Chain A
């Protein structure tokens, strides 16, 4: 009976379930599979993290439809390069070096020797070539595959350690934007001998609990929707890095990811040192945690803000350009000038936020571009209500009974729909607009995302999945007509033309020039109203582990556990005592 329960995962199992006589046995049998590996690892050798978001227990492939690489998955896919765009670090890992040819149509990687997979097979450039080639064939059929198909013409395996990528057109940003593993994106190499015979969009890599074949020192112990447990290999010889002397085994012997949806429990848990790292928390919660527990610290340390690191997702007030009033640039600029961003920062983040001028993050790799766009002299953060009023009057609006209306008496509306993470600034922005005479409100309806993607919204608050380093092409392309990310409904053919030119240019000066031209148009239109940088504010407990990357110690990597840099961080953590 129990064997039958264990082996059948189709509906016969459920039929049995409802037979009262067997209910008890069924319940018992649910626990049996878990009795497989119950190795005891002490708390001091375990790293425990908590975050929101639920993922099915079988999701262990980033290419799976519905897949996800956060929550431990990325650990199993060691990258060619680890990268940290906030401060411009890059760490070669499975690759030793890379180089472009002169016109950026060929990219060559030199792969490290001595790497092997967990099933004993050797790892070499053929795995890299296979992965790249397959991705370029599958394209959007798999998650994350789009870019490969768009750019890659062919992949050439030169030797066991050299692989060359041929592009359709010059792609100087391919290494930074696609290959280097940073934050939430990167190239995940897979073993050819396993993946050549599976269906990529369906393959979970869960392998009935034994987890992925990997080069990393991690093995899957347990996985369900609420927790994931990864164990480190025991001996140095089981991991290529240690065996070849490249790097020592990570000190943590176990990594546990916990699902915690509730901010309060997460904060309480870190205060009691039950978890070592949290997900994003509100400023005052972090301050509470710091106050109540001497071991708690953050990216900016214990003493002062902003308690987090800038993420690549700057937030802005999304205005639907298709709306009757919001389609006018004057109205959009007026809205922007009505918002006192410093006050918002004060109110929402107790002054621990950072205003953002442009829809790309304040990363080191983009500082040149930011400086060059700054030279155009347009301040998107300006708080100037009288200017705003002038703009509205120019566009034919008058103020009646406290609200701005057009000639037919219709009020300008900007009702904001958003979700959870913007609860801080949402109501504040809405109130500001109401005070200025624009009808506004803030709500979090369950269909907010739906409204946003189908263009049915009035206003919203959201981030930008754009460029992170090198050039702002990706961000710029988000505003081109009919781009799938263009949720604002913005359309300007002159702008589109310039952006298309940037895509195919390999000349740095030309790109810089074109970028400024495009931004000039963008700035005068302001299809999107920049608000603040998005911070990843998480709390860390140093009771058991030290040497976390922080601004005050050594910001060697983006330390949030959801991001791909966590695998790197684990190598650097040191046990307290």
Chain B
């Protein structure tokens, strides 16, 4: 195939990582605020203070986190350790290590996000495609505005309303968290079922909010596709309508959708962060929010790095696979 294309794509990926690392480093520090100071005073507020001078405490903290070294020094240390995937200690949650915190939070986010995104993509696209196909079904056509309304409401608002309605008023689902308060996580089936139970509402809010978007996108794609010549030919040939629908229609329309999926990954993640916060779901989003509120440079750096890598990696994957599913793509046009 076209080796150059693949090499360029991977090269881009690497550059993205390096840029992300650097931006990641400079942006929080650009704010000029002192996370250690923040932490100490926070402690004082939470727990009646302890008397005596605080400045020594602050100094030892700063030394511990290497915040007293020059910016260049810090940057170098940061780049090297990030590449080793050692994100250091968290400031606000000292003595936990950032990598541990991320390691524990990541599975939750991965699970919730990938499942809901896949479901909403598939369901949305199929619904969108089907809607253009079967004209005359007025009921189905009225779904479009409803779906659209849902996609217009921000994820988290939808989440709040869902919690209030289904978890509080109707008590069908649990109120918060990844699993029941009294349960200690273990390896049992019971635990996994609980996890499932707790993930239904968050997943549902993501799915509801996103499906509309995919459905509408798919609908416009299908409309364009339907106008193509080969569709007319297929009908004229007398092929079974279902076959035309799937093999010719959906298969072609789905391609731009897949690209759209790749492009909107970062937006989806943004939405997921908010959903996690609203549902107190113990994933990466909540961890990031926690880090941001506490100005914990290291948590922010670690999480953003992981996010960026995942998104860049997924985009890379999609870009690499795309030529395989759509042979028409002209490689040189990239």
Interface positions of A (Cβ within 8 A of B): 9-11, 13-15, 17-18, 26-28, 30-32, 34-35, 37-38, 43, 46, 48, 53-59, 64-66, 68-70, 139-141, 143-147, 149-150, 183-185, 201-202, 204, 221-222, 224-227, 229, 256, 258, 260-262, 265, 268-269, 272, 274-275, 312-313, 446-447, 449-450, 452-454, 463, 465, 474, 484-485
Q: Are B56 and A9 in contact (CB under 8 A)?
A: no
Interface positions of B (Cβ within 8 A of A): 31, 33-34, 37-39, 41-57, 60-61, 64, 84-86, 90, 92-97, 99-101, 103-104, 107, 163, 167-168, 171, 175-177, 181-182, 184-188, 191, 278, 280, 282, 290, 292-293, 295
The 9 closest A-B CB pairs, nearest first, are A146-B52, A184-B48, A144-B50, A14-B85, A56-B93, A56-B96, A66-B94, A11-B86, A465-B49
Q: In the complex, what residue of chain B is closest to A184 when comparing beta carbons?
A: B48
Q: Are A226 and B177 in contact (CB under 8 A)?
A: yes
Q: Are A224 and B52 in contact (CB under 8 A)?
A: no
Least Cβ–Cβ distance between B98 and chain A, in angstroms = 10
Least Cβ–Cβ distance between B14 and chain A, in angstroms = 15
Q: Are B38 and A450 in contact (CB under 8 A)?
A: yes
With A10-B86, A143-B57, A465-B44 known to touch, is A54 a contact of B171 (CB < 8 Å)? no
By CB atoms of chain B within 10 A, which of A258, A262, A312 has the most?
A: A262
Q: List, in ascending order, chain A residues with CB within 8 A of B90's CB.
A: 56
Least Cβ–Cβ distance between B186 and chain A, in angstroms = 4
Q: In the complex, what residue of chain B is closest to A17 when comparing beta carbons?
A: B103
How many A-B Cβ pairs are below 8 Å? Answer: 173
Q: Are A70 and B46 in contact (CB under 8 A)?
A: yes
Least Cβ–Cβ distance between A176 and chain B, in angstroms = 13
Q: Report how far A14 CA is from B82 CA in the complex, Å.
A: 11
- Please list 13 pairs of residues, one from A and one from B, whose beta carbons are closer than 8 Å in the complex, sorted by A's number: A18-B85, A30-B103, A54-B92, A55-B93, A57-B96, A140-B52, A150-B52, A261-B280, A262-B176, A450-B34, A452-B41, A465-B48, A484-B55
Q: Are A34 and B185 in contact (CB under 8 A)?
A: yes
Q: Are B85 and A15 in contact (CB under 8 A)?
A: yes
Q: List, in ascending order, chain A residues with CB within 8 A of B182's CB.
A: 43, 46, 48, 256
Q: Are B99 and A226 in contact (CB under 8 A)?
A: no
Q: In the complex, what residue of chain B is closest to A447 when comparing beta carbons?
A: B33
Q: List, in ascending order, chain B residues with CB within 8 A of A38's CB.
A: 184, 186
Q: Are A229 and B184 in contact (CB under 8 A)?
A: yes
Q: Are A147 and B52 in contact (CB under 8 A)?
A: yes
Q: Are B103 and A269 in contact (CB under 8 A)?
A: no
Q: Are B41 and A453 in contact (CB under 8 A)?
A: yes
**Residue of B37, B185, B191 touching A450 (CB-CB under 8 A):** B37
Q: Report how far A9 CA is from B86 CA in the complex, Å.
A: 11
Q: Are A14 and B95 in contact (CB under 8 A)?
A: no
Q: Are B50 and A269 in contact (CB under 8 A)?
A: no
Least Cβ–Cβ distance between B85 and chain A, in angstroms = 4
Least Cβ–Cβ distance between B91 and chain A, in angstroms = 8
**Residue of A48, A65, A68, A449 touching B61 (CB-CB under 8 A):** A65
Apart from A43-B182, A65-B64, A484-B54, 16 more pairs, CB < 8 Å = A11-B84, A14-B85, A15-B84, A30-B104, A34-B187, A35-B187, A56-B94, A57-B96, A225-B93, A226-B177, A258-B181, A261-B280, A446-B295, A447-B31, A449-B38, A465-B44
Q: Are A34 and B186 in contact (CB under 8 A)?
A: yes
